[in-house]
Structure 1
């Protein structure tokens, strides 16, 4: 399967589409990723995420776009810096992140695809001609209404399998970067390689990256990647580094392992320390590390675990705020209050203790930021400090 500039040249982009219609505009928008100045590259990246991978959705144009991106990863031009996350990193890192995001979105598309027995019939050549003409039409109503046709449902249902078919070629393009001289490139390459391998249903060879790993950040990315592709991470649960132990514990295959769950709870006993673990945070953690740990710990816990997790809540709550509350303490509250009905019943001593913890942090109750209050509402709890105090009996 072709990658790189051959894809840009040889693809019939008029027979593809993205979030805003025909993919015929793709070459002019994508070419600057390789040849443009920094501003043009940033605009091209905006096109990738705004049209080609719009809000985490893959389209038929996503497949050749990903193959193009994969094929240019080795270009020296991508050593140029790009502003990402407030810091300056090579633009190559950004494109590796796009490939990982596209692979994960395609996997999600496969998961939610219409079953074959219920899928709409394959469109006829005449239907395809009509649909692609409508997608490229200057008539906005025509281009918009075509999305409502069964033909488009059939075409969208193809995208996941087409991305899966491209996964080996994407992986082969990313693989050389697993041993790149730059540690940051190796990290992003591990994430991309694992994502496309998982999409393709095969195991990535991360041994080269593991041999070159120089720091905690790299080791964590590798262990997280192994967990995400279904490898056994048990051996890392006894690693000397608590960050590596936690990354091993986060593997889905460890969900039923009490030792792994205990590692998550132990890490949250020092949430500020966990937040400071990484100089270059693995993409697995989209925000504060403690947010992910609290979410996974809550998912693996039952109401009967609430008392055991009370010290964890007491450690996390002082760091929280009304903007962050839903992401950290809110996840732990779900263990003690698994349904809205529980909040209206006679409370247990443990439930009252959970509510009392919330009252000790003024930052959770700042006015004008409703995030945490919405979370409390979803749990069937009062949304104001006075109501929580009355319910807790303090």
Structure 2
């Protein structure tokens, strides 16, 4: 119901405090966001345990492609006023080191952290530095940089572990 209401453009802010976390998240996904900080907090809370979030619905929801957490992440990245708002959860997702999630997790996270592209004339923020460190630290085991080279290129960053480490 919360997902349908949000898709219809109805206010869902009262459902952001529902006892069911799936209802809260569906309310936070809507295009109408009456309470952005609370909606973002709900989405980020769901992403702290993304595999549990994926298991909430036995059948895919309308408008959801792939795992449910992909939709939750996209919505959180869009809703955040800055990367810093989502950085702790986003960095934890990158650090988890799942190889297969380039276009649905790591790439969008990287692009949100560097929306205008990396510029060596500007110092990295602490959140950007922590994100790149997570990529470097997980790269050897997962190929997280090489597997994301198109995203790194699009963000104006080096496309290999050594190059990213040099930026740090």
Fold shared, TM-score > 0.5 on shorter chain? yes
Please give the per-residue CA displacement for 1:4-63, whole angstroms capped at 9, x wherever unaligned.
xxxxxxxxxxxxxxxxxxxxxxxxxxxxxxxxxxxxxxxxxxxxxxxxxxxxxxxxxxxx
Please give the per-residue CA displacement for 1:53-87, whole angstroms capped at 9, x wherever unaligned.
xxxxxxxxxxxxxxxxxxxxxxxxxxxxxxxxxxx
Q: Point out the structure with max Rg over C-alpha.
A: 1
Q: 2:154 aligns with which of 353, 378, 385?
A: 378
Query: Structure 1: how far apart are the matches of 2:121 and 2:67?
Result: 32
Query: Structure 1: how far apart are the matches of 2:20 and 2:4?
Result: 17
Query: Structure 2: how far apart are the matches of 1:255 and 1:387?
Result: 42
**1:342 CA displacement:** 3.8
Q: 1:310 aligns with which of 72, 76, 87?
A: 87
| Pairing of 1:103-182 with structure 2 (within 5 A) | none
| Pairing of 1:210-289 with structure 2 (within 5 A) | 222-254=1-33, 257-289=36-68
For structure 1, which runs of at least 5 residues remain unmatched after alignment?
A: 1-221
Q: How many residues align?
A: 165
Partner of 2:165: 389
Partner of 2:123: 346
Paired residues of 2:145 and 2:161 also in contact (CA < 8 A): no
**1:379 CA displacement:** 0.8
Secondary structure of 1:279 counterpart: coil
Partner of 1:320: 98
Paired residues of 1:230 and 1:252 also in contact (CA < 8 A): yes
| Pairing of 1:32-43 with structure 2 (within 5 A) | none
Paired residues of 2:6 and 2:12 also in contact (CA < 8 A): yes
Query: Structure 2: how far apart are the matches of 1:386 and 1:313?
Result: 22
Paired residues of 1:291 and 1:327 also in contact (CA < 8 A): yes
Q: Which of the pair has the greater relative contact order for Cα pairs under 8 Å at 6+ separation?
A: 2
Query: Structure 1: how far apart are the matches of 2:59 and 2:41?
Result: 25
**1:343 CA displacement:** 5.9
**1:340 CA displacement:** 1.3
| TM-score where L is the length of structure 1 | 0.39
**1:351 CA displacement:** 1.5
Describe the shift of the 1:378–1:327 C-alpha distance in structure 2 as closer, same or farther (beyond 3 A): same
Query: Structure 2: how far apart are the matches of 1:236 and 1:246?
Result: 9
